[in-house]
Structure 1
Amino acid sequence: MTRRVLILAHTGREESMLAALEACVELHANSIVPVMYADELADMTGYLGVSGVKMEILDRDVTLADIELVMVLGGDGTILRAAEIVRDFDLPLLGVNLGHVGFLAESEREELIQTVAAVVQRKYTVEERMCLDVVVKVAGKVVAHTWALNEVALEKGNRERMIEVVTEVDGRPLTSFGCDGVVMATPTGSTAYAFSAGGPVVWPGVEALLMVPISAHALFAKPLVVAPTSTLAVEVLTRNGAYGVIWCDGRRTVDLLPGARIEVTRSSKPVKLARTQQSTFSERLVRKFELPVQGWRGPSAEESQPTTTQLPIINTLRPKTSLEGPRTGPIPQLPDLRIPPQESQYSGTQGFYGEETK
């Protein structure tokens, strides 16, 4: 059976086109057919010249149902674009970072050959990432229905006026405040917009939903982490007439008039990410954010459980003279330990620093 890998690249950048051509050459050399969109292939060959690699065109020669894996060459934005394409076809995404942080990417540009080799040898695993189901209502009527892998961000519609909102969890109001916006995110999105807004970093293995206010004018406007079965909602109040806009993964947008309501739940359809490395999420955090870890020793290789020992019993000291029963004889007199008062030499005629007062 012929194996096919779809190559998605940001063809507006030379580095991305060079990486795409290199990946196509390596795949073809290992009897895997590279597949590209017609316009992206035209951009690549038009800029770099025609190559001798046999490639197929998506939606002309093959469909997404014929693809084994999608290799994405670019930053997180390119990966989010790829997620829109493959989400309905249950295809895993394998990202090669050509951007800045690239937290969704599995490897870096200099690891491209090793990444292709892992694909050739099928040395990759697939993990599912939770997505959000987003519904926008106005006067009880659904006006928009979309989804997000990272987050849905409600933002104010103009710079001059903050937006007034009331937040809700599981059908009950929580608090209202003025703000620049509210981010509702997945654990995958906790290192994206929600992280920049001051939200917590949530490990991908944790199933939870996040709500993070942006520059809120309120005492209780803290980031929230709720159960994955919860329903988050934000209503745009009509108090100051300000309108808002929501962005899903920074790609899909809906304008919101005062009175609009956004409801966010866990989506039943996840996005699949391919993994070629077995590094932990902690290692990814350190590598992507260049966190300082100097001085770390780690657990000792010879560390063993200490044996259980008997703790010493401390006996309470008892007074030599028993206080139990009636006392006979005179009560001994205790010595007078009071300090006798001393006469003050202050005459009342001197100032604070010893000057004579008039």
Structure 2
Amino acid sequence: MTVGIVANTQKKGARSTLDRLMGVLAVRGISTALERETAGLLGVQGGLDGPELAACSDVIAVLGGDGTMLNAMAKLGPTEKPVAGINIGTLGFLTSCTDEEVGQFADALLSGEFSTSRRTLLCATVRSVDGSEKEFRALNEIVLARGQTGRLVSLSAYVDGDLLNHYRADGLIVATPTGSTAYSLSAGGPLISPAAAAFVITPICPHTLSQRSLIIGDHMTVELAPENADEAPMLFTVDGRDCVTIHAGDRIEVKKAEQSLNLLRLPGHSFYETVRQKLNWRGG
């Protein structure tokens, strides 16, 4: 077995967690491969770029937090290999264990006592008015929002070709169930179980308070577009990165990606446990 490792080299404690992980894997006879920047953190040669690392690994370990996982997914490219998030600090929504549980992680790999949570990805295609196209993948969400102006903007949303609504808002979020715990939640959207075959469309600070989030099936296609040329350009972002300027006449098509993310889960850890912990849910 080979474990590919991607670390957030800027995060405090990344070097010590990386050393500990490689040590517990080596003791158990598990080989490791390092992403290029991660290898640089150790001062060694032979680091691989993302797709190479994914191709040669049986499991991929991402050291950092939820943001590191999002960046790693973009770096790795499409892969069906199980991906384990090892959080440096407290448990995150996208992490399999904390940095104190790397021994448990290594034991689970040897015994096969782990599961995978299949997470839907978004495929977003930006079609510019000049006829050019660019495609993006997102694990959490895509966002079309106001640009440099401090004013509300007008945008429209269509679902399978039918008009959903004309919005006056700071922007609009289209999120996966995984992304329902991120920006969409902060904007007032609902929590959605990762197993649900759904997307959620959430307006950001809408002018009309009756405009609420809408959950749709993930087999549907969403199209977003600016409505007022005087308010363009707007900004399109993918998981908080890949910022693209959207002009009047441009269109964004959002649908379920062909690939998914197989998020590794250890025994005793679940989405519901993480929700209780992160949101401080308590009874009575």
TM-score by length of 1: 0.73
- C-alpha separation in 2, matches of 1:207 and 1:87: 22
- C-alpha separation in 2, matches of 1:183 and 1:141: 24
- C-alpha separation in 2, matches of 1:33 and 1:206: 35
- C-alpha separation in 1, matches of 2:64 and 2:23: 18
Cα distance, 1:119 vs. partner?
1.9
Residues 136, 186 of structure 1: alpha-carbon distance in 2 compared, 3 angstrom cutoff: same
Matched, 1:273 2:263: yes
2:23 aligns with one of 8, 12, 25: 25
Residues 58, 250 of structure 1: alpha-carbon distance in 2 compared, 3 angstrom cutoff: same
- C-alpha separation in 1, matches of 2:89 and 2:149: 29
Please give the per-residue CA displacement for 1:63-121, whole angstroms capped at 9, x wherever unaligned.
53221101111011111122123342321110111256621011122222212221232
1:42 equivalent in structure 2: 40
1:353 equivalent in structure 2: none
Residues 38, 83 of structure 1: alpha-carbon distance in 2 compared, 3 angstrom cutoff: closer
**Bigger CA radius of gyration:** 1
1:149 equivalent in structure 2: 139
Query: Which ranges of structure 1 fall in alignment gaps of 5 or more residues?
Result: 47-54, 296-358
2:61 equivalent in structure 1: 71
Higher helix share: 2
2:83 equivalent in structure 1: 93
TM-score by length of 2: 0.91
What is the SS of the residue equivalent to 1:131? strand
Q: Is the 8 A contact 1:76 1:99 kept in 2?
A: no
Residues 33, 56 of structure 1: alpha-carbon distance in 2 compared, 3 angstrom cutoff: farther
Q: Is the 8 A contact 2:122 2:138 kept in 1?
A: yes
For 2:234, give the aligned amino acid. G
1:15 equivalent in structure 2: 13
2:172 aligns with one of 175, 182, 193: 182
For 1:31, give the aligned amino acid. G
Cα distance, 1:45 vs. partner?
4.3
Larger RCO, structures 1/2 (Cα 8 Å, 6+ apart): 2
Cα distance, 1:238 vs. partner?
1.9
- C-alpha separation in 2, matches of 1:278 and 1:100: 15
1:109 aligns with one of 95, 99, 104: 99
Q: Is the 8 A contact 2:113 2:267 kept in 1?
A: no
What is the SS of the residue equivalent to 1:254? strand
Which 4+ runs in 1 deviate beyond 6 A?
none
Q: Is the 8 A contact 1:9 1:40 kept in 2?
A: yes
Which segment drifts farther, 67-76 or 4-13? 4-13
- C-alpha separation in 1, matches of 2:210 and 2:157: 11
Query: Which ranges of structure 2 fall in alignment gaps of 5 or more residues?
Result: none
**Count of residue correspondences:** 282
Please give the per-residue CA displacement for 1:308-343, whole angstroms capped at 9, x wherever unaligned.
xxxxxxxxxxxxxxxxxxxxxxxxxxxxxxxxxxxx
2:204 equivalent in structure 1: 214
- C-alpha separation in 2, matches of 1:193 and 1:100: 19
Give the % identical residues.
Answer: 29
